[in-house]
Structure 1
Amino acid sequence: MNYKTLGIDIGSTTVKIAILDENENLIFADYKRHFANIQETLADLLQEAFDQYGEMTLHPVITGSGGLTLANHLGVPFTQEVIAVSTSLQKLAPKTDVAIELGGEDAKIIYFENGNVEQRMNGICAGGTGSFIDQMASLLQTDATGLNEYAKDYKALYPIAARCGVFAKTDIQPLINDGATKPDLSASIFQAVVNQTISGLACGKPIRGHVAFLGGPLHFLSELRESFIRTLKLDGEHTIIPENSHLFAAIGSALNAKEDNSISLTEMKDRLRNSIKLDFEVERMEPLFASQEEYDAFANRQSSYKVKTGDLA
């Protein structure tokens, strides 16, 4: 049985997997929203691979913001996201000088300069990321794809804040009330994301040379990419839109797989479905009431205190 490598990228909103053959060619890949049900979603993706290719022995590696806990429970090596993305870029788009990656809830700019890699990341706030775009789309009663279709016909751009969904709504609502068109609003939302990414992450450091666009939002939303290209004044030669750009972290982690760790596809699916109960990563406070009896006792005790009331009339 020949060995293959498996890269798993667990993001804040999606799970991506990539299976490479022994010649590092991509033979299976998929991308799915997990709606906080990470294990089940990953097991479903592995089942799809199994249905297509049958049993396989895999060298797995996990990456992504939600991947560390799962990697520990599965006993699978973990690689940092920037390393995974850098590995992919070096193999698939080696001319890249700067990579801009948008995820579901984070944004990154990675600079490659003479062998040095410098990463700027916004991981603490979802302003100007995929979930921000989803939120703004719902204001216009559509989804991210609908927003992209609208934006193709825009005539004017309005200034909209993107550092927070609350500020953006405050900017958008008056524009809707004033009769701004959906194409103009959609393009303005994308422009706001571009401004937020460039000003918030680059912090004045120029984005020059060959620029690669990665991550789900930039892969699926052509008009968002166009907004970046327009703002950065990039020509065709300096714009890199790789195939499978939404899977780069998964592909990169597969490229970082080591031969000493292997697992069969079935065993991995079984572990995900049956044996792992993920603990919460945060410390929880003790509940106020450990049982119904404790709550009832509290309610009885409190109900004995009554404020005197009288008839106001």
Structure 2
Amino acid sequence: MPSLNVLPSPRRDDLIVGLDIGSTTVKAVVVNPATDEILWQDYQRHETRQLEKCLEFMKRLEADFPGSIPHRARIFTTGSGGGTVGEFVGAKFVQEVNAVSLAVEKLYPQTGSVIELGGQDAKIIIFKEIDDTGRKKKIPSMNDKCAGGTGAVIDKIAAKLKIPPAELCRQSYDGITLHPVAGKCGVFAETDVNSLQKSGVPRHELMASLFESIIQQNLSVLTRGHTLRPVVLLLGGPNTFIKGMVECWKHNIALLWKERNVPLPEGVDPGDLIMAPDDAQYFAALGAVEFGKREEPSIGTCTGCEKLEWYLNQGREEERKIQGGQGLYKTEDELQGFIRKYTPKKFTPPRFSPGQVVEGFIGIDGGSTSTKAVMIDREKKLLLKAYQLSKGNPIEDTKDMFAKLRQQVEEQGA
């Protein structure tokens, strides 16, 4: 581990960095605590490389704020990776629910409920008055054990349906025909979408149905029997960027309020009491900053990115050597022997003569994600094979299989 010079302690009015390291994205803000001005912010997917993306962010911050970061700055982290990264940059970790609550109470004090949908978690916070003074208590509920009902499911289904990100962001909910899709489990949701897609349901209806299932799941499970109280803030990436998610929340929460006779301000459209604020994806990072403003100036002193860079380049490998067990093979000869024994024999298709009529039996396997086809002769010898990922239409997939098999024959003049 590299040794670091002792850095001067930041003053209370120096910059504060809020770093939210989530399961799929990294968000960062730099705030001047004296004015609450946001000087810098960014939001990026880390593609499962949390530490590398954080190092990239830290280097950019040091370049953009020379003389302030790290020497005259404090840093506070939150999110699923906040504790790990914080050890290397001098940060203090802030629990996610606390961070989000602090940001909401500061920026939108009239809020009655918060719904945050993350990449692989979801949380709902309900604020209730505890006495006549206006003091509130928080009733938080969080799902961080299963990706069902989170942004990860939306990503996976959108990728399967080949929906580009820009189109996904424009995807609507209002006025679109809905179909039953499981909301409790991402695997079950994908199975339902596969079946619906093969029956000819268009993809915009599939995505709207997925929004419905995710929101119904969170409303029925995460509220824990409580009723969302207006005003409702919609936070997190999916609620920020996907139009149809906001429309779906507004539709379903308004129905819930009507069903439960929740008193609402007279003359106000219920949809206006449900909103996705500007910079909704940064609330946890802003809440970490808000937490830091209440700490002593010596807490969270930013030490820069040297330790983090060392860990990525050297420390992680040393850690693996200490913690790791015996490898899968001891010598190169042992590995090569295993490969020779278990490598499947490469299929070599038979040669056909020009003008030959090829006869055989064709079998097609139309699976949920791919389509496979083979052709064998009367002696059960494999003549041809083809494979492709499903396009969602079994008739088109089958036609493609016949075309691929025919092409392999005709390429040889048979």
Q: Which TM-score band applies after superposition, normalised by the shorter structure?
A: 0.7 to 0.9
Indicate whether 1:243 and 2:243 are aligned: no
In the superposition, relative to structure 1, how do residues 155 and 236 fare at CA in structure 2: closer, same or farther (>3 Å)?
Answer: closer
The residue type equivalent to 2:59 in the other structure is Q
RMSD over aligned CA atoms reads: 2.8
- Pick the aligned partner of 1:61 from 29, 54, 76: 76
Change (3 A) 1:156 1:262: closer
Quick one: distance in 2 between partners of 1:149 and 1:35? 23
User: Secondary structure of the equivalent of 2:88?
Assistant: helix
Contact 1:151–1:184 (8 Å) recurs in 2: no
Q: Find the partner of 1:43 among 52, 55, 62.
A: 55
Give, in angstroms, the shift of residue 153 of structure 1.
7.5
| Alpha-carbon distance, 1:50 to partner | 4.0
Alignment of 1:286-305 (within 5 A): 286-287=325-326, 289=328, 291-292=330-331, 295=334
The one-character-per-residue Cα deviations of 1:178-206 (angstroms, maximum 9, x if unpaired) are 21122211111111111111112113321
Aligned partners of 2:171 and 2:242 also within 8 Å:
no
Render the CA deviation track for 1:139-182: whole Å, top value 9, x for unaligned.
Answer: 21114542343436753111111221221122112211221122
Query: Which residues of 2 match residues 57-136 of structure 1 at below 5 A?
Result: 57-114=72-129, 115-136=136-157
String of CA shifts for 1:34-81, please: whole Å, max 9, x gaps.
122222211222333344443312111111111112222333211111
Task: Report the count of equivalent residues.
Answer: 298
Residue 36 of structure 2 is matched in structure 1 by 24
1:142-153 matches, within 5 Å, as: 142-151=163-172
2:250 equivalent in structure 1:
229
Query: Are 1:105 and 1:126, in contact at CA under 8 Å, matched by a contact in 2?
Result: yes
Question: Given that residues 172 and 247 in structure 2 are in contact (C-alpha distance below 8 angstroms), is that contact kept between their aligned partners in structure 1?
Answer: no
Amino acid at match of 1:30: D
- Cα distance in 1 between the residues matched to 2:215 and 2:166: 17
* C-alpha distance in structure 2 between counterparts of 1:268 and 1:29, whole Å: 18
1:110 corresponds to which letter in structure 2? I
CA–CA distance in structure 2, aligned partners of residues 275 and 169 of structure 1 = 38
Give the alignment of 1:209-224 within 5 angstroms: 209-224=230-245
C-alpha distance in structure 1 between counterparts of 2:248 and 2:311, whole Å: 46
Task: Confirm whether residue 155 of structure 1 aligns to residue 167 of structure 2.
Answer: no
> Which letter does structure 2 place at the counterpart of 1:25?
E
**Residue 215 (structure 1) shift:** 0.7
Q: Helix, strand or coil: the match of 1:59?
A: strand
The 1-side partners of 2:142 and 2:299 are apart by 30
Does 109-118 or 97-106 show the bigger shift? 109-118
Equivalent-residue separation in structure 2 for 1:178 and 1:195 (angstroms): 24
Find the counterpart in structure 1 of residue 196 from structure 2.
Answer: 175
The answer (yes or no) to whether the contact 2:232–2:275 under 8 Å persists in 1 is: yes
Residues 116-143 of structure 1 show CA distances to partners (whole Å, capped at 9, x for unaligned) of: 1111111110011111100110121114
Q: What is the CA deviation profile of residues 211-265 of structure 1, one whole-angstrom value per residue up to 9, with x for unaligned ones?
A: 010111111112101101110017244123221110101011011113113656x
SS at match of 1:27: strand
Say if 1:51 and 1:200 are closer, same or farther in 2 by CA, change over 3 A. same
Task: Tell me, in whole angstroms, the C-alpha distance in 2 between the residues paired with 1:35 and 1:28.
Answer: 22
Distance in 1 between residues matched to 2:300 and 2:196, nearest whole Å = 56
For 1:27, give the aligned amino acid.
L
Alignment of 1:4-15 (within 5 A): 4-15=15-26
Distance 1:291 1:55 in 2: 51
Cα pair 2:76 2:300 within 8 Å, conserved: no
Q: Which residue of 2 aligns with 1:272?
A: 308
Say whether residues 1:260 and 2:298 are aligned partners: yes
Q: Give yes or no for contact 1:8–1:61 (8 Å, CA) kept in 2.
A: yes
CA deviation digits over 1:79-104, x for unaligned, max 9? 11111111100111111111000000
SS in 1 for 2:85: helix
Counterpart residue identity of residue 124, structure 2: I
Judging changes above 3 Å, is the alpha-carbon distance between structure 1 residues 116 and 153 closer, same or farther for their aligned structure 2 residues?
closer
Q: Structure 2: any 5+ residue segments left out of the alignment? A: 1-10, 130-135, 255-268, 342-414
Please name the residue that 1:205 is paired with. Answer: 226
CA pair 48-293 structure 1, distance change in 2 beyond 3 A? closer
Classify the secondary structure of the residue corresponding to 1:202. coil
Cα distance in 2 for partners of 1:262, 1:116 equals: 27
Contact 1:103 1:216 in 2 (8 A): yes
The 8 Å contact of residues 154 and 187 in structure 1, kept in 2 or not, is answered as no
SS at match of 1:166: helix
